[in-house]
């Protein structure tokens, strides 16, 4: 088996492993794009693939610089065009949950008495849904406007919006866009 075929198979195997266990193997703190498992797997795979294609035409030693350049270029493109934009997107979509307390939301899945439903609210112009239950254990039907009163264990506790009690409540889009 040639070196390039071996590299190709190792790269494909590493892609499968990094897809299954990518969170465990991700070296996000290093700052070197080529140490990210998915990028490294692509680089190794492309080196092997380009090497297998070029070796019959120009020999194994002459194919290596082109294979290496192709692998590094493919890894760089994957990092710059896919991984970095996704990382930036995930950082802009995160929000401080505690800043949502006092915000208005809408029940998107009815909250049964003593149970959980779903609420929908806006964060930076995007709709977000979260599990919710009422503070007093009562039920609330779908499409009712509610106020988020607390957040415990990723569950949002709400009370039905009452104009007398929550005149000070600000729509969640106004609260979150101020951040």
User: Do the Cβ atoms of 161 and 170 come closer than 8 Å?
Assistant: no
Task: Name the pTM for this structure.
Answer: 0.48
Name the maximum alpha-carbon separation found in the chain. Answer: 82
For residue 134, the 8-state DSSP code is: E
- Structural domain boundaries in the chain: 3-93, 97-177
What are the tens digits of pLDDT across the range 37-72? 778 889 999 999 999 999 999 998 999 999 999 999
Q: Which of 92, 132, 97, 130 is nearest to 111 (CA)?
A: 132
The pLDDT value recorded for residue 40 is 85
Q: Tokens 């003593």 label which residue?
A: 114
> Residue 52: helix, strand or coil by DSSP?
helix
119 backbone φψ class: left, alpha, beta (φ>0; ψ -120 to 50): beta
Q: What CATH topology corresponds to 97-177? A: OB fold (Dihydrolipoamide Acetyltransferase, E2P) (2.40.50)
């Amino acid at each position: 088996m040639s070196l390039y075929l071996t590299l190709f198979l190792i790269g494909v195997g590493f892609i499968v492993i990094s897809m299954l266990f990518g969170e465990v193997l991700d070296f996000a703190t290093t700052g070197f794009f080529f140490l990210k498992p998915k990028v490294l797997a692509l680089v190794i795979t492309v080196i092997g693939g380009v090497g297998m294609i070029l070796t019959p035409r120009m020999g194994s030693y002459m194919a290596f610089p082109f294979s290496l350049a192709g692998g590094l270029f493919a890894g760089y493109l994957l990092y710059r065009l896919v991984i970095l934009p996704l990382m930036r997107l995930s950082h802009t979509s995160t929000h401080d949950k505690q800043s949502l307390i006092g915000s208005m939301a809408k029940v998107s899945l009815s909250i049964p008495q003593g149970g959980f439903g779903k609420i929908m609210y806006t964060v930076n112009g995007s709709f977000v849904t979260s599990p919710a239950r009422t503070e007093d254990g009562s039920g609330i039907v779908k499409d009712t406007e509610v106020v988020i009163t607390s957040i415990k264990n990723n569950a949002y506790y709400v009370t039905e919006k009452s104009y007398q009690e929550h005149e000070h409540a600000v729509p969640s889009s106004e609260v979150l866009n101020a951040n």
